[in-house]
Structures are given as C-alpha cells and as structure tokens.
Amino acid sequence: MIDEKLKSVYHDIVSRNPAQQEFHQATREVLESLGPVVAKHPEYLHAKVIQMLAEPERQIIFRVPWADDQGQVHINRGFRIEFNSALGPFKGGLRFHPSVNLGIVKFLGFEQVFKNALTGLPIGGGKGGSDFDPKGRSDAEVMRFCQSFMTELYRHLGEYTDVPAGDIGVGTREIGYLFGQYKRITNRYESAVITGKSTEWGGSQVRTEATGYGAVFFAKEMLEAQNGSIEGKRCIVSGSGNVAIYAIEKLHQLGAIVVACSDSDGFIHDPAGIDLDLLKQVKSVERQRLTTYAERRGGVTHHPAGSVWSIPAEVVFPCATQNELSGRDAASLAKNGCIAVVEGANMPCTAAAIDVFRENGILFGPAKAANAGGVATSALEMQQNASRDSWEFHYTEDRLAKIMSNIHDTCLSTADEFGRPGDYVTGANVAGFKRVAAAMMAFGLV
C-alpha cells in the first residue's frame, strides 16, 4: 500500500508517463516502502525529492540506421536515460532486445539509481539500449549496428559523465565494438567510459561473473541470517545468459545443485544437476538453444511450454527478464517447499508474486540488492582503469563478497529501523533512497 502522503506523487508519475507500465510498477514498489521514511523526515516531501527522483535528468532517444549482410537497410531506435547523477556519473547497462522501449529503459534506470546507491560506491544511475535483436545476426552485422549506435551515443558519454555497460544482448563482443567506435571517434583511450570490457584490454577480473556470483553471495547471507545454509539446496536458475550461468557456477561451487534453467524457447529439467561446461559451450560459445543441450545430454527433458517454476526446489533465482515469475508461479513454488527467492534479473517477480512470498514466509531478495554485484564490480573496474591497475581474481572476488555482505546487512538494519524487520524490499528501497536523497538535498534545485 502507498502511504496517503505519497498517493498524489504516484498518480502524477502515472499521468506524466502514460503507457509505461514497467516504470509505474518500479516506482510504485519504491513508494510503497517510503511511507515510514517521509513520516520520520517530512523535509523530503517539502523539497519534492521523490518527484525529482522520478524525473530523469536527461532522456536521449535516437535513430540507429545500419545495413545487414545483404545490404538491406534497418532502422532501430536507441535510448539512453541519464536518470540521476547525485552520487557519481550515470552508470548502468545497455540492453539490445526487441522488447526494449522507453518504459522498460526508464524502469531499469530508476531501479539502477537505488541499486547503485546501495553499493556505497560513487556511481549515479542510468540505463540504455535498443530494440535491435542480435539473435541470429552475424558478427559483422552486430559490429555495424554497434558502430552506428555509438556514433550518436558517444557525445553523451565520458568517464565523469555517463558510463554504460552490458545487459541482455550486450556482452563482451558488443562492448568491444562499442568501445572501439568510441575510441575512434574521440581519439581517446578512455578505458573507464564503458565497463564489462574484456580482461585483455582494460576489463576487470570477476566482472563477467559478478552479477551471478553476487546474487548467490546474497542468498548465502540471507540463509545464514536464518541459521541455514546454501549447501545441499536444490535450486532453479531461470535464463541461461550471463547472470544465470555464473549464478549456477557459484551455486555448484558452494555445494548446491541446480536442476533447471531456461531460455526464451522453454526450459530444461536436469535432475542430476546442470552440466555447466556443456551449458557454456551451447549458450555462450555456439549461441545455440537449450534444445541442443537436451539433445547432447541424457536424462534431461526440454519443455517448450509451461513454467520452469513448476519444478520443486528450495532456493530459486529468476535470472532472465522482468515479470517472468507471476503470482501463480509463486504459489506453485510455495506449494513445492521453496524457502527463498533471490532476484538475479531486474524486477523478474511481479507484485502479485512478492505478495505470495510474504504470505508464505518465503525469504525474498529483491534485485536492487541481490544483483548489485554486477554494477559494483563495474565500479571496481572504473577504479582499476583510473589507477591504470589490474587486480587479481581472488582479490576482486573478495571485494565483491564483502560488498554483497554489506548490502545485505544494510538492508536488514534499515528494515529494522523503519519497522519492517526482515523485509529486504523495504531495506533496499529505503537505504538506497536515503543515500541519494541526502546528496540531492545538499545540491539544491539542480
């Protein structure tokens, strides 16, 4: 429920941003957490900090023309939402997926502001992308698209201004083409203008693994806070992209067993535990579908329809995309004995699903907190670039684990302080909000 004092703020957001459902969903969730904060700190209401926070500092929408291998012309749309720079340069990934539109980029950018604040690092929030679909495109086509995209975007970027990274459909290959074009146009080797780079040319160790590993570190903290353990738990990880693959890797390293994962064509059930080498080969190297995984490995079933959440598991990690876990899926997880849900993707659980988790006492780790390991490690990448240094894998992973542990503790103590003990959603929203709001109040009306 949104507090009476904040209802008009929410109605204004909805009427000023029509047809942006995902953005409404994301702002609503934050506003539902802020009631106890404005009761304690009415100054935020007087200064209209929440309204300022819901309005991006700058929104850039541009045309991206490119030609495919047959010489046929395509026109895509590019976006960059520079949401909030109170704590540092705008920071957040680029998503290439046909579903990308203004409402999706804005919800992602809004979430990013709070997430980045929670890391405790000096980074603002932003997000961008395009409705371009890299699936089935040759390397040369992806390169031409990335070059056209950056030919417009470069003028808005800079290591002190706006620093993009990857997201759905944007991995090391795309980051390489984007950085190459930026370098060519600006004639500057400005490493820290983009993160998620290959470790061969300025990327950080552990950045590739960071979001998935970080989500598992967060889950481990959540279970340990209840005197439990991740070891031996049966898990589901949805998706089979960057976040999912490294969540599975860390879960296996910690002695959990992942029995199912998915892609946009269905899901696989592998009761013996996912064969990670095979999964990486099929999805990351060959860029094939999960049907190929099922063909090459015995004892696996592939389900083109139905829900991955129908499989019994104790701890689950939605790591594919927004709103992929519904209220009905949540009810099925509860019935099958699920004890914890940890979001690796951004806003993968619907509001109805989160209600079901609360009603059934299922621990819930929201994306802002649980998947912050990716952007936190991006900030570590910027730090290494600035000092022309590169850190070793274990040192960097240690830093990541400590950051996740701090975020976990901050969420719990903030939830306690604001009267909702154990509620990680409130903890994450309020702690992130307070840090950004303090900086915004200090800067005045800018």
Q: Which residues are catalytic?
A: 127
What is the size of the binding site for ligand NDP (CB under 6 A)? 22
Residue 346 DSSP one-character state: S
Nearer to ligand NDP, 35 or 56 (CB): 56
The residue number with the shortest CB distance to ligand NDP is: 241
319 binds ligand NDP (CB under 6 A): yes
SS3 content of the chain, % helix, strand, coil (to 5): 50, 15, 35
Q: How far is the CB of 212 from ligand NDP (least distance, A)?
A: 8
Q: How deeply is 72 buried, as exposed, middle or buried, from its count of CB atoms within 10 A (0-12, 13-18, 19+)?
A: exposed
- The residues in 103-132 that bind ligand NDP, with binding defined as CB under 6 A, are none
Name residues whose C-beta falls within 8 Å of residue 350's C-beta, 6 or more positions apart in sequence: 25, 323, 325, 326, 327
Q: How far is the CB of 112 from ligand NDP (least distance, A)?
A: 9
Interface region with ligand NDP, contact rule CB under 6 A, candidates 24-32, 187-195, 259-267, 394-402: 259-267
| Cβ(249)–Cβ(209) below 8 Å | yes
Query: Which residue of 166, 202, 366, 427 would you call a contact of ligand NDP, by CB under 6 A?
Result: 166
CA distances from 340 to 209, 316, 431 (A): 22, 7, 22
Nearer to ligand NDP, 50 or 108 (CB): 108
241 binds ligand NDP (CB under 6 A): yes
Between CA 411 and CA 432 the distance in angstroms is: 9
148 binds ligand NDP (CB under 6 A): no
Nearer to ligand NDP, 20 or 240 (CB): 240
Among 411, 349, 346, CA closest to 113: 346
169 binds ligand NDP (CB under 6 A): yes
239 binds ligand NDP (CB under 6 A): yes
| Cβ(371)–Cβ(344) below 8 Å | yes
Among 41, 149, 29, CA closest to 438: 41
203 binds ligand NDP (CB under 6 A): no
429 binds ligand NDP (CB under 6 A): no
Contacting positions for ligand NDP (CB under 6 A) = 166-169, 211, 239-244, 263-265, 319-321, 344-346, 371, 374
